[in-house]
Amino acid sequence: MHHRMLMILFIFAGMLVGIETISWAVPLESLIPKKDLPKEWTLIHGPQTYNKKTLFEHINGQAELFLKYGFQKSVFAIYQNKDRSENQIEADIYDMGNVVQSFGVFSRFRNEDRPGGFGLDSFLDDHTALFYKDKFFVLLYATESNPDSLRQFSKLISSKIPNSSLPPKEISYFPKNGLKPGSIQYFPEGLLGHQFLKKGFRVTYADGEKESHLFLSIFRNSQEAMNALKFYKEDLSKKGKITSENLILSETRALKGEDPYQGKVVALQKGLYLLGAIGFEKSENAENRLKEFIEKVK
């Protein structure tokens, strides 16, 4: 009886794994709405798929950006208004591999904070709708001003995406006070223009009339993060300056200096992260915000 019960549990667990695998294996083409469309719209082209080799045929000028962010595959379709043939909506759905990379592309296309109420985060104006959900980044473009239809199509596509994960955890680390809405960006390499910082997040804060930034660079382990701090210090020593002021922050692996192009810098290592503030005017404000930031980084 004991062995039989174990076998039943094993089979049941296998069924759950199978269900999980099936849901992840939903064809990308199935995310393109074909039925139950808004009544005035019809599908006239697609779904047409693109891979890493053929993406340049579809978006030649932007393909390299998508590939840097981990692009896997995409699907494209065109919808037409039944009463006005020139009124069309183009839909692109990109499989970016994971939620961090889908957010990253979204963060680079969004140029201000105009949420549309779909996906994990979104942007909507008269001609464009953007959102990300799970590993997918979705871009819709309308030839004529049509925010209502863009919202309808976006919600329809969003409802078709299974296994929705949470937003990247790093987003929650950044303090809310003074944060410029819609300014969180993820870069797959060269954070702040430095190759040694590799991938990470940059966020903009309003400090009076001037803007400053917090950044979070992500490494595989703490040793790589410490090495990056060393490279940062060497870079500032050559191109800018390292100050001798005592940090309010009680961190041993830290630096304070000034970048000739980006202004004052405070940076420190915590675990597999290198985090800091840059471009600020008042050190006290930056360090107070940085203290809150450090406490949130896990």
The domain spanning residue 206 has which CATH number?
Answer: 3.40.1000.20
185 and 292 assigned to the same domain: yes
The pLDDT assigned to 17 comes to 40
The pLDDT assigned to 209 comes to 75
Q: What is the pTM of this model?
A: 0.86
H helices of the chain, in order, are: 2-24, 55-58, 63-68, 99-109, 147-160, 222-239, 283-296
The domain boundary, picked from 125, 160, 195, lies at 160
Q: Are 169 and 141 in contact (CB under 8 A)?
A: no
152 and 42 assigned to the same domain: yes
199 and 243 assigned to the same domain: yes
- Assigned domain for 193 exists: yes
103 and 39 assigned to the same domain: yes
- Assigned domain for 258 exists: yes
The pLDDT assigned to 11 comes to 40
Residue 251, CA atoms < 13 Å, CB-side half-sphere: 22
The pLDDT assigned to 8 comes to 40
156 and 208 assigned to the same domain: no
Structural domain boundaries enclosing 99: 28-160
45 and 135 assigned to the same domain: yes
The pLDDT assigned to 110 comes to 94
The pLDDT assigned to 244 comes to 61
> 179: which DSSP letter?
B
Burial class (CB in 10 A: 0-12, 13-18, 19+), 215: buried
Task: Determine the Cα–Cα distance for residues 249 and 168; give it in Å rounded to an integer.
Answer: 26
The domain boundary, picked from 102, 127, 160, lies at 160
- Assigned domain for 15 exists: no
The pLDDT assigned to 252 comes to 55
46 and 133 assigned to the same domain: yes
- Assigned domain for 245 exists: yes
Query: How many domains, the chain?
Result: 2
CATH code of residue 82: 3.40.1000
The domain boundary, picked from 143, 160, 177, lies at 160
138: tokens are 């979705």
35 and 152 assigned to the same domain: yes
From first to last of its 298 residues, the chain has per-residue pLDDT tens of 444 544 443 344 444 344 333 345 678 999 999 988 988 999 999 899 999 999 999 998 899 999 999 999 999 999 999 999 999 999 999 999 999 999 999 999 998 899 999 999 999 999 999 999 999 999 999 999 999 999 999 999 999 998 778 999 999 999 999 899 999 999 999 999 999 999 999 999 987 778 999 999 999 999 999 999 999 999 999 998 988 655 544 445 889 999 999 999 999 999 999 999 999 987 777 888 899 999 999 8
Preceding omega of 47 cis (within 30 degrees of 0): yes
The pLDDT assigned to 282 comes to 78
237 and 186 assigned to the same domain: yes
Q: What's phi and psi for 243, nearest 5 deg?
A: -90, 160
Of 134, 101, 98, 131, nearest to 117 by C-alpha is: 131
- Assigned domain for 16 exists: no
173 and 250 assigned to the same domain: yes
- Assigned domain for 286 exists: yes
186 and 284 assigned to the same domain: yes
The pLDDT assigned to 245 comes to 54
Task: Determine the Cα–Cα distance for residues 274 and 222; give it in Å rounded to an integer.
Answer: 9
- Assigned domain for 1 exists: no
What is each CA distance from 21 to 25, 75, 160, 257, 273, in whole angstroms? Answer: 6, 21, 16, 50, 32
- Assigned domain for 23 exists: no
Residue 283 parent element (H or E): helix 283-296
177 and 290 assigned to the same domain: yes
